[in-house]
Structures are given as C-alpha cells and as structure tokens.
Amino acid sequence: MNPHRYTSAPQGNRLDLQNLRRLLPYVWTFRGRVLVALICLILAKVATVGVPLLLKEIVDSLDISKTEVLAIPLVLFLIYGALRLASSLFNELRDAVFARARYGAMRQLSMQVLKHLHDLSLRFHLERRTGNISRDLERGAMSISSILNYMVFNILPTTAEFTLVAVILLGRYDIEFTIITFGTVFVYVGFTLAVTEWRMHFRHTMNAMDSKASGQAIDGLLNYETVKYFNNEAYELERYNRTLNDWEDAAVKSQTSMSLLNFGQGVIIAVGLTLVMIYAGQGVVEGKMSLGDLVLVNTMMLQLFMPLSFLGIIYRMLKHTLADMQLVLELLDKENEVPDKPDARELQVTNGEVSFEHVSFAYQQERPIIQDLSFTIKPGQKLAVVGSSGAGKSTLARLLFRFYDVNEGRITIDGQAINEVTQASLRKMIGIVPQDTVLFNESIYYNLAYANPEATREDVIEAARMAHIHEMIESLPDGYDSIVGERGLKLSGGEKQRVAIARVLIKNPPILVFDEATSSLDSKSEKAITQSLKEVSQQHTTLVIAHRLSTIIDADEILVMENGQIVERGNHQSLLQANSLYTHMWNLQQQEEQQ
C-alpha cells in the first residue's frame, strides 16, 4: 500500500460510498436501536421547526398595530417552552439510544480487523511495521464511531430540518424565498465539495507522515539496545524529525486551506441571509407579510444555516474520517496467503508420524530454499536436522506449522496432508521451543499459562519444576507474579528458553519441534537446557533443528542439509564413520570448544 497514493475526486467519491456501504452490516446488528434513534431524531426536528412557527404567532398576537388591547398569550408561551423542552429531550434520547449501536459497531470492527491480522500469513507480519499498523488501527476504530456520529447526529438531522423548512416556505410564502434558500444551500454545498476535494491530499499526506513517524518511533524503541550499541540516538531523532517536518508542512497547508473554506462559506451564508431579509422586509412594507412572518423567515433561515454552517465542518471531517478508515479497510482487503480449504477437517493424531514427501519451497521464486526433500519421523522418534546457515533448516518448522504452503510435494501427519486440515487443529498438535523465545510484557505465570489458559496453577508450577525453572522463579521478589518486561528482556536467554520448555510441557502436544533452542546459550546453560529437552521429548515425535551437534548425538536419525537438500543421513556414529560433511562439522565444533 502506497501512503502517497491519491485518487481522483470521482474515484474518491465512489470509494467513499463503497466504504459507507461496508459499514452497514456493523450498524444492522443494532437496527432496532437505530430505528428508535431515527424516530427520536424526526420528533426533535419537528419540535425545532415548530419553534419559529410559534414565534410568528406570538409576535403577531403582541403586534399593537393590530389590536388596541394587549394581552399576554400565555398558552403560546407555554407551548413555546414545551417545544424547546421536547427538542432537547428527543435529542438526548436519540444520543442515549444510539450509543450502543455506535460503540458496538466500533467494537465489532476492531475485533474483525484484529482477527484478520491474526489470520494473515507470516509473510505479511514479517514485512509490516508495527507502529504504522498500530496507528492505522487506532484511527480506523475511531473512524467508524465518528462516521456514525456525523451521519446520525449531524447530516440526517440537518437534512430533515432542511426538508421541513422547504415545505413551510413553499406552502406559506412567495417562490423567491424558496429559490434564495435552495440557491444558497446549493452554492454552499458545491463550494464546500469543490474546496474540500482540492485540499484532501493535505490530509492524506498528514496521515501517511503520521503513520510513518509512529512506525519510526516505535521501531527505534523496540530496538533500543541496537540504537545504543551504535550510538545512533541522534540519527533516530533526525530521521523522526524529517518525517515530522513533512507532517508539519502538510498540517499547516491543511489548516490555511480550511480557513479559506470557512471564509468562503461565511460569505455565501451572509449573502443568502441578506437577500432573504430584504425580500421579507419588502413584504412587510407592502403588507403582504406581518412582523411575525418576518421573524419566522429570519428565525428559520438562521436555524437552517446554523447546522448547515457546521455541516461544512462535518463534511470535511467525514472525508478525513473516510480517509482514515480506508487504511483499515485496505487491511481487511488483504488476502490470507495460507487459507484453510472450505472443506478442511480437524486433524486427528493417533500415532504422530510426520512425513515430508518430495517437498520443494521458495520464499521468492528465483531463490529456492528446499528442493525435493523427503523424510519421515516415526511415532516417538527423534529426528535432527543440521547444516550450515541458509541450508533451509528453520524453514522446515515453518512449513510444518503451515506458516507457508509448499510449492511442490506435501507434508502429512498420520497420513493426513496438513493443507487439507484446519490450521487451528494442526497447531494444537505441535509444540515448539524456538531459537528466540519472545514473551509478553506480563507476569511469568501469564507467560507460562499462555500455552493452555485452562491449566491450573498446580499444572503450571509442575511444568516449571520439570523445566528446572521453579527455583529461579521462587527466588524473585514477586515469584510467579514477576513482570518479565517487553519481549521478556528482564530474563536471561537460558531463563526464557526454560519458560518455552515449560510452556511445551503445559501444552503437551504429541509432536515437538526444537528450533535451534540452545544456539544462543553458553555451554553450561546449553547442557542444562539439553537435558531438559531430552526429558521433554520422551514419548513424543520430535523434530530437532540444531546448530550445535553435541545436542543431538542421541537422535534416532540425523539429516545433514546443504542448499535445501539432504546430503547425508544416519545416526551420530554412522555419520562420523562416513567421514564426510557431518564429520567435518563435528571436528570444527570440537576444536572450537577446546579453544
């Protein structure tokens, strides 16, 4: 999505109408409340338009030139007060009744967008910028509330009031009043539309720069240590400042063009009101109209143009809000690269046999990662995959979890192709200890129980004991309630790996994946974690993706990968005896450890 992409006015208007239509399902859920709110709206506007009609009667009844006896029209004053009260009452009832529809629709959209983001493929999330997405979500959630607010509380009431005023003017007075009123409104609306369309690109630029600045700020904070390592605080601030400068320029242009628009609207309204008052005054002089008629016409015009003047602001805000919402709707329009098939069934695991059958895969078509790969992990067996960086080892775990679909071949579990079962049931049967364990900025207990929210506290503590992390947790001041920090930065690498092991124990799936789970640890931590992994993997079908060969010497079978292909296979002893690539890798690592 290009943030600087602007559509022409006709295309933009069609897009706005499409977006408004897409909001209808969210509101339709609350159609009963919407209907009641609209009835309250109509009643409020009837009361509002009734006020100037009553004022005319009051003025005429007090006109001394018509009667010698001046009497206070008490009943008219009471009705006047009742109309004012009714207008206020029905407006407030409308707001109260519609609140559930407004905020309910906002909640539904937020939930749908977040669900869609979770459903999108790993490729999308590897390419996204968290800060930009966060700001787009925030503006998009507010936009549906704002749009409904503008439509129900401003645009529809003004339309209803305009219709009632037009009926009264046509029924009571000369056609000139109607022509001036309609003419003024049409010129006003035309001017507002034209100028607003002209200045909309300033708002688009503001949005793009706002999201970009937010993304840069959050990116810098998430990579706080990297910024410090390279002493690049000034660089980050300068990059942020350049983006904010672009945002500032667009904001200033947006504000100055808004002032021009406001002044032009004021001129149109002033001219229209002046013409109406001239004709009304002439009608009084000629005896065609009473003073009450003069007051009626003046009050109606003021009553109409007050919300109409505000409608200019509302229209601009509606356009801005639709621009905000467009970003969220584009997110919703992004297709999931790895969808479930319509007839996908639940995965049934009885033994836990995993097979890769002639699998080929590439992230980009011109750069194949895995080529015609075949192997089987028997139930309860441990299979290890080793090889140099870029050989395609970690890609195997991503394909097994079906973060990507294979280009050729298939992956099966107990004979069931994983692309023919639901992803939820597939991932329920697989547990992973990743190379880099990322934790939520919550308590240790929350992160442990995340594997199974229904687990009891006793289950969580028992898993922590088995992962040899219980004593460390108990030594903390807040124990299991200790907050681990963003991405778990308050814990060491070994501690985070033990948390990951405990989570796998709590989940207790039939298939386990260890993705270079000890590659970033020191030798002491590695030995401790390796022992924990051995204990966990018993009685499970296990795929171990390893960097250090010392951690997989007990594997039932070891695959040596090079350039996406299996070049050697066997157990530890047989591979050493073959005196080939595995032997070379083993000797190198032994030398490194000795040094």
Per residue in 373-411, pLDDT tens?
999 999 989 999 998 877 788 889 999 999 899 999 999
For 451-476, what is the mean pLDDT?
88
Asked if residues 98 and 79 have their Cβ atoms less than 8 Å apart, the reply is: no
Picking from 508, 543, 571, the residue at the C-terminal end of a domain is 508
In-domain check, residue 499: yes
The Cα angle at residue 480 between residues 471 and 496, in degrees rounded to 5: 70
pLDDT of residue 426: 93
Model confidence over 263-293: pLDDT tens digits? 888 888 888 888 888 887 887 787 777 777 7
List the CATH number of the domain containing 498: 3.40.50.300
Picking from 333, 364, 391, the residue at the C-terminal end of a domain is 333
Q: Which residue has the higher pLDDT, 395 or 487?
A: 395
Instruction: Verify that 412 and 459 share a domain, yes or no.
Output: no
In-domain check, residue 461: yes
Q: How confident is the model at residue 1 (pLDDT cuts 50, 70, 90)?
A: very low
For 499-506, what is the mean pLDDT?
87
pLDDT of residue 131: 62
Q: For the residues of 296-332, what is the DSSP string, one character each?
A: HHHHHHHHHHHHHHHHHHHHHHHHHHHHHHHHHHHHH
Q: Which residue has the higher pLDDT, 459 or 334?
A: 459
Which ranges of 223-232 does DSSP label H, i.e. alpha helix? Answer: 224-229
Cα(530)–Cα(220) distance, rounded to whole angstroms?
A: 35
Instruction: Verify that 244 and 310 share a domain, yes or no.
Output: yes
Q: How confident is the model at residue 527 (pLDDT cuts 50, 70, 90)?
A: confident
- Name the one residue in this structure whose structure tokens are 């004979």: 415
Instruction: Verify that 123 and 238 share a domain, yes or no.
Output: yes
DSSP state of 154: I
- Positive or negative: CA dihedral 483, 489, 492, 496: positive
Instruction: Verify that 581 and 476 share a domain, yes or no.
Output: no
Q: Which residue has the higher pLDDT, 124 or 92?
A: 92
Q: How confident is the model at residue 194 (pLDDT cuts 50, 70, 90)?
A: confident
Instruction: Verify that 485 and 589 share a domain, yes or no.
Output: no
Asked if residues 516 and 394 have their Cβ atoms less than 8 Å apart, the reply is: yes
In-domain check, residue 361: no
Top mean pLDDT of 115-119, 153-157, 470-474, 514-518 is at 470-474
DSSP state of 260: H
pLDDT of residue 6: 40
Q: Which residue has the higher pLDDT, 364 or 20?
A: 364
Domain enclosing residue 483, as ranges: 437-508
Burial class (CB in 10 A: 0-12, 13-18, 19+), 452: middle
pLDDT of residue 63: 63
In-domain check, residue 160: yes
List the CATH number of the domain containing 306: 1.20.1560.10
In 3D, which of 104, 13, 86, 6 has the Cα closest to residue 43?
86
Is 66's pLDDT higher than 70? no
Instruction: Verify that 319 and 463 share a domain, yes or no.
Output: no
Q: How confident is the model at residue 7 (pLDDT cuts 50, 70, 90)?
A: very low
In-domain check, residue 311: yes
Instruction: Verify that 517 and 418 share a domain, yes or no.
Output: yes
Q: Is 353 helix (H, G, I), strand (E, B) or coil?
A: coil
pLDDT of residue 519: 60
In-domain check, residue 260: yes
Is 44's pLDDT higher than 80? yes
pLDDT of residue 373: 92
Top mean pLDDT of 10-14, 119-123, 467-471 is at 467-471
Share of the chain above pLDDT 90, in %: 16
- Name the one residue in this structure whose structure tokens are 């836990």: 352
Cα(573)–Cα(562) distance, rounded to whole angstroms?
A: 20
Picking from 278, 302, 333, the residue at the C-terminal end of a domain is 333
Instruction: Verify that 386 and 322 share a domain, yes or no.
Output: no
Domains identified in the chain, total number: 3
How far is CA 385 from its chain centroid?
A: 38
Instruction: Verify that 396 and 484 share a domain, yes or no.
Output: no
Instruction: Verify that 131 and 21 share a domain, yes or no.
Output: yes
Model confidence over 312-360: pLDDT tens digits? 667 767 777 777 777 777 778 888 888 888 999 999 999 889 999 999 9
Asked if residues 322 and 346 have their Cβ atoms less than 8 Å apart, the reply is: no
Instruction: Verify that 85 and 215 share a domain, yes or no.
Output: yes
In-domain check, residue 133: yes
pLDDT of residue 137: 74
In 3D, which of 167, 151, 208, 191 has the Cα closest to residue 26?
151
Is 237's pLDDT higher than 60? yes
For 135-150, what is the mean pLDDT?
74
Instruction: Verify that 309 and 405 share a domain, yes or no.
Output: no
For 175-204, what is the mean pLDDT?
81
Range with lowest mean pLDDT among 108-117, 160-169, 557-566? 160-169
In-domain check, residue 353: no
For 187-205, what is the mean pLDDT?
80
Top mean pLDDT of 19-33, 38-52, 410-424, 529-543 is at 410-424
Which residues, 6+ apart, have CB-to-CB distance to 342 below 8 Å?
A: none
In 3D, which of 123, 23, 27 has the Cα closest to residue 334?
123
Tokens of 446: 């929350």
Q: How confident is the model at residue 309 (pLDDT cuts 50, 70, 90)?
A: low
